[in-house]
Amino acid sequence: MATRYVRATGVVTRRIGGETVLVPVRRGPSERNEAGLRTLFFLLNGTGEILWEQLSSPQLEDDLARRLITEYEVAPQQAQEDVSVFLRDLRDAHALEVLEE
Amino acid sequence: MDAGSTGGREAAPDVPHAARETLLEVRGPAVGGVPLVHRLPQGWSGAASPGRPWAGSRVDDEPLVLTHRLGPASVEGLTQFARGPYPLSAYLLDERGAPAIVSDVGGAPRQCLRTLRPGREYELSYERVPERGWEWVWQRALFMLALPARRRGLLVHASAFLLPDGRAVLCPGSSGIGKSTLAAQIHSDFGHAVPVLSDERVVLTLDGDGAPRIWGTPWHSTAGLAEAHDGLLVSIVLPSRGDVPSLTDVPAGEIVPRIVGAFALPFWDDVATDWALGVVDRVVSAVPVRRFSYRPRPGAGIALVEALTAVATP
């Protein structure tokens, strides 16, 4: 069984001050805190932007890592770790859907 | 019943059913240019004010209506999507996707704020008239929902003050960042000569030409600073500790996370969130961000105001 990841619906992205801001909207119980008015959001760095771009269609984790290796000449283990952390963080924030095939 | 007072009398718990159905309209003081109209059951008072001294901002938008109802604070038809921070229990959505907020902390009688007309009219149900001191929590939550829904503006977790020329300085950031301390320092050095709009929460709106404007609110922090003035935003200041007062540029990588994190984005609505991020983008692109390093002591606020006045664009 292969696991693919794809952007969830209702995730808002915008370029602000030269950075890509990503805000998952209406995504289940969260730690959003009105008293502190903290909003759960992500700032995507260069690799994050590439990964998010790829996730417009369902992707295998290994394919995402291969893209980083090609794009940034990153060592394979580092690429795997970066992708794993990225997917975990966005999945926990309900910004990604997980498709089991 | 005095809508401008700091709070009203607690109502007798037994309100005749017929009286409960008759609603009085009481106009409350405006926040961020938006007047608040309370619809209250006959014979019931206590929630027609922010619960704190507040003269009211000038008015330049349509009223926001809040109907108060004594009775079951039902959550029927609502779906929870996020936990709320104390004392609010949860954020929910109704069948239309409009937000609601519930509070039933610690077994207290439930209260529920529902959207009737997004940005225009809301309903607050009480299973029992709440104790005094809760008004400001609900009114702050109400404005958090209503301002972006009517595309008026956003609540910002920030302190703010007005320079002598009437333009506003914003100090955004989460609790503990030093924004309330800085506001207190300004007030200590200047008194009312330099109005501190708030030491905790402000409203940000965009004028017709897109210029950001900051409004004071009644929802202050421990320094108790709140003034019903407003001014065009000319500078953003991030406070930090330093021995000698100095105003310096902030590295680009620090600006966006600090600014975005301070805004109360309407995270229940993707279209409204996109609009809100556009407002944030406008602020980041139009307003310079600087760091003010200082040690809290007499004169530090004067140093900041003088430095900002010197660098502010005409």
Residue range B99-132, pLDDT digits in tens: 999 988 766 778 999 999 999 999 999 887 766 6
Name the band, by pLDDT with cuts 50, 70 and 90, for residue B47.
Answer: low
Query: How close, in Å, is residue A33 to chain B by CA atoms?
Result: 5
Mutation to test the A interface, candidates B254, B256, B271, most A Cβ within 10 Å: B256
Q: What is the pLDDT of residue A97?
A: 93
Give chain A's mean pLDDT: 85
Residue type, B74: S
ipTM entry: 0.84
Query: B278 touching A, CB under 8 A?
Result: yes
Residue A35 buriedness (CB in 10 A; 0-12 / 13-18 / 19+)? middle
Q: Please name which of B52, B41, B38 lies closest in space to residue B15, comparing C-alpha atoms.
A: B41
Q: How many CB atoms lie within 10 A of CB A80?
A: 18
Strands (E), A1-101: 3-7, 11-16, 19-24, 42-44, 59-60, 96-100
CB-CB under 8 Å, A43 with B256: yes
Q: What is the pLDDT of residue B23?
A: 82
Query: How close, in Å, is residue B260 to chain A by CA atoms?
Result: 8
Least confident window among B10-19, B195-204, B287-296? B10-19
Position B67 pLDDT exceeds 90: yes
Query: How close, in Å, is residue B137 to chain A by CA atoms?
Result: 9
CB distance B164 to B309 below 8 Å: yes
Distances in Å between the Cα of B237 and the Cα atoms of B106, B173, B276 are 38, 10, 21
CB-CB under 8 Å, A21 with B270: no
Strongest mean pLDDT among A27-31, B44-48, B129-133, B241-245: B241-245
Mutation to test the A interface, candidates B273, B279, B280, B285, most A Cβ within 10 Å: B273
What are B85-92's contacts with CB under 8 Å, separation 24+?
B85/A33, B85/A34, B85/A35, B85/A36, B86/A35, B87/B134, B87/B137, B88/A34, B88/B137, B88/B141, B91/A32, B91/B268
